[in-house]
Structures are given as C-alpha cells and as structure tokens.
Amino acid sequence: SYPKDGFGSVGKALLTTPGASAELRMKRENIAERLYRVTGQGIYRDSVLAGVPVPIAHPGINGLVVGQDSVDNAIYGGRLFWMWGDTGRAAYPLGHFKMAGAFSDLPGAGGLAPGQGVDLEYFVDADGFSRPTCPWPDEGLIWLEGLLTQVDEQGRERM
C-alpha cells in the first residue's frame, strides 16, 4: 500500500516513457490474491501497446467478449470446459445470458501454467461473438452450477 495524498487518494503516479518499465512493490493487505483477469476486452492492452509479449492468442478481445461473470468449469475430454452466465459484448451493452462456453488446454497438456493465464477458445456464432451454449426457448436468464463429468454405461464421458 502507499500513503494517502492530500486528497485522500492512495496510489502512485508514474511518468510513462516509451520502452521503459517500472516496478512497484506493495504490501498486500487483503488475504485474497487475484492472479489476473481471465475474460474481457483489453486484458493485455497495455502490454500489446508497449510491445511486450503476452501469453494468450487473442489479447485484445476474444470471442468479442467485453466481460463475463458467474464462471464454472470442469475437465471434459482432457481439456477444461468453461461456462459463464452473463456475457457482455462490445456492439451492445447486453450480450447474452444463456451460458457462454469455451475450452482451454490443461497445463502440461499444451495449456499455460496457471500463473501465466488461460488461453480460451470460445464457441462463437457467425459474427464471431460468443454464442449461447444453452439456447433455451423460453425468455429469461440461465446460470448453470456444479458442472461435472461421468462415464456412461458405454464408457463415454458425459457432462
């Protein structure tokens, strides 16, 4: 943490210079630690603008998703299967509420180490936007919870 300024704001101002970098040392006061943001527009925007290598294939915007919440995942078919409830899009503030989906490779099986990030492969529609994976015919919002896999009587993995 940094001391408050005369206006009560906490933080540190930096002068940006092309090609330069700065390291800020902080004392974490919250017991939780967020490693990074997984979804949404501009995750690595500043790194891309600065020419710094980034770990994911679509660092500016992936699946035209600007933000998501209510995440769940399960290992399915040897990969991580992800689902989200609310999915916002850039073209309009509301995207869809019928469970967006994506896959990512597991660490050690082609996927990134957890400390690096998650390279998501979204299910997308013809426009490239994340498509609903639960296109329920009724109006309303859909949030699934507790994804799991089972092997059926024929030995096939099911979710």
Instruction: Give the residue with greater pLDDT, 9 vs 110.
Output: 110
Please count the structural domains in the chain: 1
The string of pLDDT tens digits covering residues 120-132 is 999 999 999 999 9
The string of pLDDT tens digits covering residues 40-83 is 999 999 899 989 999 999 999 999 999 999 899 999 999 999 99
pLDDT for residue 57: 94
- Please determine, for residue 34, whether its predicted confidence score (pLDDT) is greater than 90: no
**43: exposed, middle or buried (Cβ count in 10 Å: 0-12, 13-18, 19+):** buried
Domain range holding 89? 45-158
Residue 12, domain member (yes or no): no
Residue 2, domain member (yes or no): no
Residue 14, domain member (yes or no): no
Residue 17, domain member (yes or no): no
Decide if 101 contacts 82 (C-beta within 8 A).
Answer: yes
pTM value?
Answer: 0.80
